[in-house]
Amino acid sequence: MQHRVALAASPTPAAEAAAAELRPLYPFVEFHEADMVVAMGGDGFLLQILHQMLDSRRILPVFGMNRGTIGFLMNEFRTELLFDRIRDARNFIIHPLSGHITTVSGERHHVPAINEISLLRETRQAAKLEVVVNGRTMLEELACDGVLVSTPAGSTAYNLSANGPILPLDSAMLALTPISPFRPRRWRGAIVPEATRVRFNVRDAAKRPVSAVADQREIRDVATVDIAIDRTRPLTLLFDPDQGLDERIAMEQFIV
């Protein structure tokens, strides 16, 4: 069966030029008619497309082609045989995080994250956080620049830059990684089952304000953040058979 494919392009010269090459070659349809999306751009644009789908609750498989900088989540850009590549692509299912955030003023927010949810200090004052795992206080006070919870798909992004572990895509684990921890000095994070529920309580939030960032969305002056995996809205990424996301994540462990 021929897929009905929509084309989305990042508003950058490289992505728009690539999309202009593709449009005369293939019978693309509008997004509301599609059952699959080709995304032209970089990793950030792909995350933006996935978040738009989560917000609209119309979630389609996405075949990304790199017209950005790194393109870790993307396939190589080629104009030829695009629909054949889509037909032969490997499916990778990823589950986003769900963050329930309460601010100091009492506002409540529900935000998804595909890579990670991070807490970051807003001022020169170190953040002080209570870390609660499955209802049990594991760290009464973590003094740090911040902390994050990462999915396997996001473990090679900000998590890796913060010296967090790389998680295989099928590991069913989450990485809990501190950012520049000051106390306790010897705590370097944890790997927990994906069914784990993590809560951060901000201590002395008025003096030491903390923001929460879910991928690209920031909420400032938070008081509590509850994080859990969301298995109700799976996302599907498509890759050429020789460019699987699982293989890329595995290979990152050998890059020096």
State the catalytic residues: 43
What are the C-alpha distances in Å from 3 to residues 38, 119, 174, 239?
11, 40, 34, 16
- 162 and 188 in contact (C-beta within 8 Å)? no
Sign of CA dihedral 30, 235, 114, 81: negative
- Peptide bond before 184: cis, by omega within 30 degrees of 0? yes
Contact 49, 39 (CB under 8 A): yes
Structure tokens at 249: 């994540």
Tokens of residue 14, six digits: 């490289």
**Using CA atoms, how far apart are residues 124 and 200, in angstroms rounded to an integer?**
20
